[in-house]
Chains A and B, each alone.
Chain A
Amino acid sequence: MADFLLLLALSLFVILGLVSILKFSLKALIDYFSSAQRLQRKLLFLQNRKDTLHKQQYFKSIQLRYFNDLKRKHLLKLDNRRQSLALARLIQKSLNVQKKHIPTALFKQWQLEQKLYRQQQDMLGLIQLQQKITNYEADKEFNR
């Protein structure tokens, strides 16, 4: 008899528990789809979208600035190449004119320097090389 009573009590306890869980779940489900909650979710979605738009704008402007800078650097590179080529040609011309008056080793060294600076687009190096050649020519003239 006692066993039966215990089983009855336990079954009642389990049934009550299940009913409570079902009740809470149903209430939560109804709350989830209630108009207030739906509106709240929509509001959060809109707020999130607004924030995303701000971020998108920021990153788009950074991207534009980056590509703009890339274009400018490309222009600069082209100009550097044009200038270094022009000066390198002038240096080569001076070297060819002075070839007979310059020792072969020095001539080759200057020719190598000219090629290296031209490849590196090193304008300062080329300018200094041209000055060296000019000074060398001037010294030669002076010694004569």
Chain B
Amino acid sequence: MKLIKNLIANILKLVYRVKDEHLTWQQNNQPKLATLRLAKVLAENDLAAELKKRGTQLEHDIAMLKTQHTAELAMFKIKCQQDVQDYKQYLQSLEQLKRSIEMAYQHLPESVAFAIHHHAKYLLNKMWEAQAFEERMAHEMRLIQFMSTVHEDARLCLEGSSHPDLPEKTLSLIQKAE
């Protein structure tokens, strides 16, 4: 029993000594500890302020982005609708092209008029499906050249200054393409 009492007393002594040392250490380093605590609080405040600033900036960015995206989508939608309208008009002008060649060449076999129309439509689709801008422009040039050749042939035929049976320039263009 005495042994246990001694043991507990020793342990208590040790605890008190450690506590004393701790207190002394805290007393000695009080200014440093205070500075450290202050620095920590300041750093936390700075970090909070910085995070808040970045948050506000991001919120602003998001609002701007939403407006920009809405505008861009609206523009893109209009462009798409315009594209479809343009395509429709191209198809109508190709139909007109076929009619003008049929009117100019009275004895032209129907298959030739349809072949001309078919080739023009092939060029139109090639142009529309081209991905690169340069490629699209090249196809557009070919289509425009083809259409102007057909109109030129029709005009010359109506004026009586070309072959009365066949639109030769147009047919040679189709043969070249093939």
Taking beta carbons and an 8 Å cutoff, which residues of A are in contact with B? 1, 35-36, 39-40, 42-43, 46-47, 49-50, 53-54, 56-57, 60-61, 64-65, 67-68, 71-72, 75-76, 79, 83, 86-87, 90, 123-124, 126-127, 130-131, 134
**What per-residue 1/0 map shows which CB atoms of B19-48 lie under 8 Å from chain A?**
000000000000000000000000010011
Q: How far apart are A12's CB and chain B's nearest CB, in angstroms? A: 11
Contacts of A86 in B (CB 8 A): 114
Tell me the B94-123 residues at the A interface (CB within 8 Å): 95, 109-111, 114-115, 117-118, 121
Q: Give Cα A72 to B124, complex, Å.
A: 12
Q: Give Cα A56 to B70, complex, Å.
A: 11
Closest to A57 in B: B69
**Residue among B52, B83, B95, B111 making CB contact with A68, cutoff 8 Å:** B83
Q: How far apart are B23's CB and chain A's nearest CB, in angstroms? A: 22
B47 in contact with A46 (CB, 8 Å): no
Closest to A39 in B: B51
A46 in contact with B114 (CB, 8 Å): no
Given A71-B84, A127-B115, is A76 in contact with B55 using a C-beta cutoff of 8 Å? no
- A-B contact sample (20 more), CB < 8 A, given A53-B65, A72-B83, A127-B114: A1-B4, A36-B44, A36-B47, A42-B55, A43-B55, A46-B62, A57-B69, A57-B72, A60-B73, A61-B73, A61-B76, A64-B77, A64-B80, A67-B80, A75-B84, A76-B125, A79-B121, A123-B114, A123-B118, A130-B111
SS of A interface (majority): helix
Taking beta carbons and an 8 Å cutoff, which residues of B are in contact with A? 4, 44, 47-48, 51-52, 54-55, 58-59, 61-62, 65-66, 69, 72-73, 76-77, 80-81, 83-84, 87-88, 91, 95, 109-111, 114-115, 117-118, 121, 125, 128
Contacts of B48 in A (CB 8 A): 35-36, 39
Q: How far apart are A85's CB and chain B's nearest CB, in angstroms? A: 12
Our count of residue pairs bridging A and B at CB distance below 8 angstroms stands at 89
Contacts of A65 in B (CB 8 A): 80
B62 in contact with A53 (CB, 8 Å): yes
7 tightest Cβ-Cβ pairs between the two chains A and B:
A130-B111, A39-B51, A68-B80, A46-B58, A57-B69, A127-B111, A123-B118
Closest to B47 in A: A36
Contacts of A130 in B (CB 8 A): 109-111, 114
B118 in contact with A124 (CB, 8 Å): yes
Given A60-B73, A76-B125, is A50 in contact with B58 using a C-beta cutoff of 8 Å? yes
Q: Give Cα A43 to B61, complex, Å.
A: 12
Q: How far apart are B92's CB and chain A's nearest CB, in angstroms? A: 9
Contacts of A126 in B (CB 8 A): 114
Q: How far apart are A5's CB and chain B's nearest CB, in angstroms? A: 8
**Residue among A49, A54, A67, A79 making CB contact with B91, cutoff 8 Å:** A79
Q: How far apart are A126's CB and chain B's nearest CB, in angstroms? A: 7
Q: Which of A40, A49, A68, A124 has most B Cβ within 10 Å? A: A68
